Amino acid sequence: MVLRSEISRFLRTETVGGALLLVAAAGALLWVNSPWGDSYVAVTEALVPISPLHLELTVAEWTKDGLLAVFFFVAGLELKRELVVGELADRKRAALPILAAVGGVVVPAVLALGIGYGVDGMDRGWAIPVATDIAFALAVLALTGSRIPTTARVFLLSLAVVDDLIAIVLIAVLFTTSIGVGWLLAAAACFAAWAFAQHRRVRTPLLYVPLALLAWYALHEAGIHPTLAGVMCGLLTRVRPDPGEDEAPATRLEHLFQPVSAAVCVPLFALFASGVPLSTTVLGDLFTERLALAVVVGLLVGKTVGIFGMSWLTVRLGVARRPDGLGWRDMFALSVLGAIGFTVSLLVAELALATDVAAAELAKAAVLMTSMAASLLGSALLLRRGRAHGARQQSAAAGTSEGRAASGHGEGSSN
């Protein structure tokens, strides 16, 4: 019961966060394509330096490297909880979302690499369509899939968490060019201190906040994407409460940081990452340039086929079982929602195409348009499946009522 209420709370927060994300992205698109578009560029490229630490980052870079660390911290906490006490703790239940997430990464990557092979930036740009945006996808599911069994939400949440983990590993591997060993050891020392403090049941933020900031800075200086500090801190946090403890540290921290991540960090990142000038040239390039086609096909086709195909295969082979109450048409609708890339896909586009501004903007436009298409198509499928589930429930309820009436009539006759 406690776990179910935790999942319900998570879904409610991510639903609000998804709505704010959409508002922020729409605001960015309107702003940059308005007569005041120059001011958008000026704000995003404004330097906010911390001179003593030699950090010369723009507003957009602070939201990408700084605020998203909070998002990844929450993702790390959620992943740890799922692995220890959640859906992913049970091997049989974990098999389906884990393998579906793997299929949803491999197929888009193969398609993107095949379509964009030889295009500048695609040596790492193939990773752009591999991620599912958890907030956006859950928001669409909550808005249009209210009549779908709750197991759909648990499956999508588990899949997105595993998907995030794979994306995090890809970011660490693909976008680490040179490693500062000394700084890497410093980050490792911070993580070791975090783990030791958790083991010793230390609770004061006066220790954990400096450790997190130092780990972030050390990874930044080591040449590794600093948002990974958030993931590591989340994974090293205790998720089981001690006897007499009201809630575990991971639960406490999730209550504290998840609303901040959903309502502030992710929307601000979307605001400063989604400002793509949508000229007729860019819109035309979405259907002609191989870079854009690689992202569009990778997300919309690759994610859907990868998630659904792997789900079908694993269930048929007996490796996993389908979530209770869900048919294959429901699974297909959820697979379409998996094609909503957004947050992590935008981040990967910026990292992979950092040296080519025009290519980065085209890739981001492809991510935005494809995510919107996937959300609309997924919504239509969910609404249709919701009507089918509603009709089935009404039929079952009517059958139950008729059975009770017949039983009452029979008892009356016998009396």
Give 265-314 pLDDT, tens digit per residue: 989 988 998 888 887 888 888 888 999 999 999 999 999 999 999 999 99
Give 377-404 pLDDT, tens digit per residue: 999 999 999 888 888 777 776 666 665 6
DSSP reduced 3-state for 6: helix
Structure-model confidence comparison of residues 107 and 147, the more confident one: 107
- Please tell me the predicted confidence (pLDDT) of residue 415: 46
pLDDT at 258 over 90: no
| Of the candidates 186, 207, 165, the residue with the CA atom closest to the CA atom of residue 344 | 165
- Please tell me the predicted confidence (pLDDT) of residue 182: 93
All domains of the chain in start order, with CATH: 16-134+149-176+225-238+248-386 (1.20.1530.10)
pLDDT at 1 over 60: no
Whole-structure pTM value: 0.79
- Please tell me the predicted confidence (pLDDT) of residue 39: 95
| Of the candidates 361, 290, 310, the residue with the CA atom closest to the CA atom of residue 126 | 290
Give 7-46 pLDDT, tens digit per residue: 555 555 566 777 788 889 889 999 999 999 899 999 999 9
Average pLDDT in the chain: 86
d(CA 381, CA 387): 10
Where helices occur in 175-243 by DSSP H, the ranges are 181-199, 205-222, 228-235
Cβ atoms of residues 175 and 412 within 8 Å = no
Kindly give, in sequence order, each residue whose CB lies less than 8 Å from that of residue 67, ignoring residues fewer than 6 positions away. 264, 265, 266, 268, 269
Give 71-104 pLDDT, tens digit per residue: 889 888 888 887 888 777 777 778 899 999 999 9
